[in-house]
Amino acid sequence: MPTFYEFFAGGGMARAGLGNTWNCSFANDFDEMKGRAYQQNWGSEDLVIGDIANIDVSQLPGCADLSWASSPCQDLSLAGNGNGIGTPDNETKTRSGTFWHFWSLMTNLASENRAPKIVVLENVTGAITSNKGSDFTAIATAFASLNYKFGAIVIDAQLFVPQSRKRLFVIGIREDIVIPKELATSYFNGLWHPENLVASYKKLPSAIKQNWVWWHIPYPEKREKNFIDIIEDEPIGVTWHTPEETQALLKLMSPVNLAKVKNAMFSGQKTVGGIYRRTRKDKYGKSQQRAEVRFDQVSGCLRTPGGGSSRQIILLVEGNQVRSRLLSPREGARLMGLPDTYQLPIKYNDAYHLVGDGVAVPVVHYLSKKIFERILAHNTTSNPYTERTINSQISYERAS
């Protein structure tokens, strides 16, 4: 059974995506609330709650097949402050700079001949262009510095779940591990490699490009569920707005958005739309609050509840009846691909924060089946690097 480390683990959504054919040997997250949720669903044996800066390489057992990191994105997202990931020397100035603490652990593992076979960094797509691409170059340089063959892909979770959620996945393969020919191509493709990613790749130094891989995986089958399919008739943790509150939302809509609501009413079908409050400027340059709705069978991207505007509201339309309320925690979990058996925090904000800050479970599962497991199955254990690793692991276990 392949083993993995899970950094910035949150509620263990990467673990959920990998499934029970993988064995977690170490997990870490700084947030105590998320840690409690992780323990509630996965147990406490493998989890260390605390700052990654305080994790020592000796706490990481053996040589993992996979090291997964969903590092903080606050300084890389459009809604963030744009400070980026910083550098190894000033990483503490940004939350996203905790990437360097993670990479320090990977570097120390490599020095002990315990480098993971596969290393994955997941983050928002803003990491591609933040600081004019210098953050992406820094990440690429880090992978290349440990001689990992690596490449990046962008996956929108709406291919699997009814939520618009694009994320960047940088996937690195240890230098001695053979990548099956069908998993890599000599050129990019539009499905997994958007224009900004290709542009950032072209800016990489030539020496770094030599380690680059254009990942090639098939297009997934059609998504099974739409937004309406995950909505609860009797939600837990939220209540329906009063008619007056719903009307107040409608009054915040522009003519374009009101037209969307009317079209949904005229369709005669029960349909659901996702609403976010936005601050927009009118034709005179004055800022005003707007409510914007989408009826394209997917929700907007879930976010952490930093303020009222980040909580997604749903608008349920059935003929002339229009109702509104907050998205429930369970609905949010379903939008992330979590099963209903997954136990959520009791408090609304905690549950919404947990799921909104995670990685979509089916995306992890797809990457595991289409890339990780195929690479591991393709490679044998009889090579010099692995023999050194096994000897190192034996020495490590004896020392422990």
Which active-site residues does the annotation give? 73
Q: Strand order of the sheet with strand 118-124?
A: 47-49, 23-29, 3-7, 66-69, 118-124, 166-173, 149-156
Cα angle, residue 84 at apex, residues 203 and 97 outer, rounded to 5°: 115
Counting every residue written for the chain, the total comes to: 400
Cα–Cα distance, 326 to 153 (Å, whole number): 32
Task: Give the long-range contacts of residues 81-90, CB within 8 A, separation 24 or more.
Answer: 82/130, 82/131, 84/130, 84/131, 84/134, 84/135, 85/127, 85/130, 85/135, 85/138, 85/139, 87/138
Cα–Cα distance, 394 to 392 (Å, whole number): 5
Let me know: does 68 contact 5? Beta carbons within 8 Å: yes
Cα–Cα distance, 68 to 102 (Å, whole number): 10
CA dihedral 378, 380, 383, 389 (to 10 degrees): 110
